[in-house]
Structure 1
Amino acid sequence: MPSPHFLLNELCRLPHRGSATPNEREAARLLAEHLRSRGAAVRLDAFSTPQTYATVVYWIIGLMLAGIGLALSGGFLVGQLGLFLSGFALSQAWLYFNWREALVTRFPGQHRAVNVLGTWAPPNNVPGESIRLHVILMAHYDTAPVSVLYSPKQQKTFRASLIVSLCVMALGVILSVVYTFGGTSSIVFWSLCAVALYLVVQAVLGTIGYLTKGYTNGASDNATGVVAAIETADRLQRATQAGALPGTLVEVVLPSAEEVGMLGSLAYLKKNRANWPDGGRKTIVINFDTLGAGKLTVIEQTGTVEVIRYTNALTDLARQLIDQPAFSPRAQSGRWHTADFDSVWFVRAGLPVLALCALDTDGTMPRIHRPEDVPELVDEQPMYAAVDLAEAVVKHWYKQFN
């Protein structure tokens, strides 16, 4: 059976795994083949997505600029149309950057991407027989566009910059209302121009890395997470076969389009939740993301303006385990407010969810969304620590609830 190191290198042999690109399809083929070699039943689920977040950002800012432009035209009816456009843009920005489903992600510019799913049913399971535990092990396999906004310094201010941008957009809507309904002073006019200029600059800064350098290789973010998910599944499957976890259904979910806005995991949840055992009441989710540098971290909180709290029994169990001598030197708990994880939809759905990543001492993820995210710089220790912890969490959960 191929080693974890072998799979990591195989994924990273591709220059990138950008969502809805030929390289993504090759990565999906490689992962499907690897999962089959481990005895999984494999399915590739296609879904529609923008190719990168740049498409979504351009739609949002483009609509806002169009709204401001119409408001500045001076016509009352045209100005009202502008208010509608800018108000809609603000609503979509709020949803998208607070990691909620946004209509703008389905606007023109759609491409076909695929989620890779591997399932191991319990040995000798009779069709219709009750599943005692359904474990979803999730890790996105697509890679990120290069971004100047993800240097260590920028990571620390990323959340604040998103909040400022949302506030500036809200200011643009307010000023457009004032201008449309008679406040056509030069101060309002130039303030709206300043808002428009700010948004153009943000659009350029947010996407220039991708436009000039393309995608990252994605060794840490997130080939390490993919390997950790598959290795954990292998361990759990062996434990199930040995009779230690009877009735356990293990599923590896490898979404694409995480770097677009966690759209692959959302597509998986919508399509498959109705088919989970016992309506999902026996389902737990562990998400692995970016485990190639830093210290293994149990995530307690994410979010932008809206805070997403991992206040559930699965995360609580993981926090208890990392306080024990077997894990305390290798793991910690922490928060991550720079973008989010595929697990966000599952937290919002009220499922027991554990999110694992690796953070540096200053709370940043080294090299993410940067050209330096290459296999030569990966430290595999956090990845193996994540596998150990995930395995321990599932086994403890099983003992508590079965």
Structure 2
Amino acid sequence: MKILNELSALPHRGAATQHGAEAARMLQTHLSDLAATVRKEPFQTPKTYATIVYWLLGGLLTGLALIPVTGVAIGLVFYFIWLSCLYFNWRYSFIVKFPVQHTAHNIIGNWPARGPLENRQKVILMAHYDTAPISLFFGSNRQANVRSSVIIMLSLMLLAGVAALAEVSGAGSPYITYLRYGLMACFAGMAVAGTAGYWLKGYANGASDNATGVAAALATADRLRLLNLPDLDVEVVLTSAKEAGLIGAHTYVEAHKRKWNRAQTMAINFDTLGAGKLTVVEKSGTIETIHYDNEPTRIARQLLETDAFRNRAQVGQWHAADFDSVWFVRNKMPVLALCAVDTTGEMPRIHQSDDTLSHVDLAPVDAAIDLAEAVVTRWMMSRRKQPEISNVQP
């Protein structure tokens, strides 16, 4: 409860804000108190997804507005359509580098292994500590529609691209021109609706999303270090700018992935554990489905069949947004994604003003810590039991 209380006492923890920086200092102190080697890794990011939405839709609108002036504007239209498809499908999009950029920090704590180098196994425990802007699209009973809304928006963008091509070629006039104007008005409305919650109400407090995940990652690390396993290298990665587009996690993975041995490395991502039932994520994604088909997830599913977890956790999917763990999946790194969802498949109160400590249920947090520890210990045992491959021919 200590870390939950301290993080939730801040009004919010928005990326690259004063309160976000204060949260980062708190986390550094907590990691130091746990005898970790602590470092702070800076990176550049927009403060919120609002900046990115304005660039994507503004760039598209500019291209569409220039169609009657020059056919070259077709290139601008399809450039921003392509950037949008990448960004909303959780792939790297250069749009995240557009102005205005600010400095945020990932906070990393490490407890290095002491055993022989060839026997070391690395476990990365990840959670984002930044909070999300208030969003009208994530209200109660609306989360199931987020994925379809994104798909509809991208489909309308593609329709706008086709309409622009047709207008340049002279086909369908004047109706194709009317369609272009109608789509332009639609995109302008989307930009307003998608960011109105932020401008009207600011950031969520983020007690569940994701102070609970940070607390679970730190508690799991503490348990693992107390096991005193000489071959276990534990690293806690607390990311920022997740709510701007998974930017902190992408920066971390790209900076460090070449140093990891995939056969000796696994990750666990904790995200939004404060309400509902602990869920082992099997699938996520919007247009493209992200499959969590790897050893840590298989171990977790096996543990869910045991008495210790049968009534405490479940297997599920999440498609309203995505997790920092997507970058591990895309790099073919074994990763377990944990969250909590209610009986309707929603994460209660995320991106809302009532995501506060008073609504947090600690049961899924405790279950996540227990499951994460069990997955890591079983994964470590499986590493030891793997037979050496003999070079001797029969």
| Letter matched to residue 342 of structure 1 | D
Q: Distance in 1 between matches of 2:299 and 2:258?
A: 26
Equivalent residue in structure 2 for 1:262, among 229, 239, 246: 246
After superposition, what is the alpha-carbon deviation per residue over 1:236-295, rounded to whole angstroms, capped at 9, x for unaligned? 0011x2xxx33100000001000001000010011122233xx34311000000000000
Q: 2:231 matched to which residue of 1?
A: 247
Q: Distance in 2 between matches of 1:131 and 1:399?
A: 12
Query: Is structure 2 residue 264 aligned with structure 1 residue 282?
Result: yes
Q: 2:52 matched to which residue of 1?
A: 56
Q: CA deviation at 1:125?
A: 5.0
Q: CA deviation at 1:186?
A: 2.1
- Contact 2:262 2:334 (8 Å CA) reproduced: no
Q: Aligned residues, how many?
A: 384
Give SS of 2:170's match. coil
Q: Distance in 2 between matches of 1:397 and 1:254?
A: 22
Q: CA deviation at 1:184?
A: 5.7
Q: 1:79 matched to which residue of 2?
A: 71
Q: CA RMSD in A?
A: 1.1
| Letter matched to residue 23 of structure 2 | A
Q: Distance in 2 between matches of 1:300 and 1:252?
A: 23
After superposition, what is the alpha-carbon deviation per residue over 1:131-164, rounded to whole angstroms, capped at 9, x for unaligned? 5210000000000000000013220110000000
Q: Distance in 1 between matches of 2:277 and 2:115?
A: 38
- Contact 2:115 2:230 (8 Å CA) reproduced: no
Q: Name the TM-score, length of structure 2 as normaliser.
A: 0.96
Q: 1:120 matched to which residue of 2?
A: 111
Give SS of 2:71's match. helix
Equivalent residue in structure 1 for 2:255, among 263, 267, 271: 271
- Contact 1:130 1:247 (8 Å CA) reproduced: no
- The equivalences for 1:332-371 within 5 A come to 332-371=314-353
* Stretches of structure 1 lacking an aligned partner (at least 5 in a row): none
Q: 1:325 matched to which residue of 2?
A: 307
- Contact 1:140 1:258 (8 Å CA) reproduced: yes
After superposition, what is the alpha-carbon deviation per residue over 1:4-54, rounded to whole angstroms, capped at 9, x for unaligned? x01100011110000000111110000000100000000000000011001
Q: CA deviation at 1:346?
A: 0.3
Q: 1:387 matched to which residue of 2?
A: 369
Q: 1:9 matched to which residue of 2?
A: 5
Q: CA deviation at 1:79?
A: 2.3
Equivalent residue in structure 1 for 2:66, among 67, 70, 80: 70
Query: Is structure 2 residue 88 aligned with structure 1 residue 97?
Result: yes
My pick for the range that moved more, 41-50 or 196-205, is 196-205
Q: 1:213 matched to which residue of 2?
A: 201
- The equivalences for 1:191-206 within 5 A come to 191-206=179-194
Q: Distance in 2 between matches of 1:395 and 1:26?
A: 34
Q: Distance in 2 between matches of 1:230 and 1:183?
A: 61
| Letter matched to residue 178 of structure 2 | W
| Letter matched to residue 114 of structure 1 | H
Give SS of 1:130's match. helix
After superposition, what is the alpha-carbon deviation per residue over 1:295-341, rounded to whole angstroms, capped at 9, x for unaligned? 00000000111110001111011011111111011100000001100
Q: 1:161 matched to which residue of 2?
A: 149
Equivalent residue in structure 1 for 2:101, among 105, 110, 127: 110
Q: CA deviation at 1:208?
A: 0.4
- The equivalences for 1:170-181 within 5 A come to 170-181=158-169
Q: Distance in 2 between matches of 1:152 and 1:93?
A: 26
Q: CA deviation at 1:187?
A: 1.1
| Letter matched to residue 214 of structure 1 | G
After superposition, what is the alpha-carbon deviation per residue over 1:207-239, rounded to whole angstroms, capped at 9, x for unaligned? 000011110000000000000000000000011
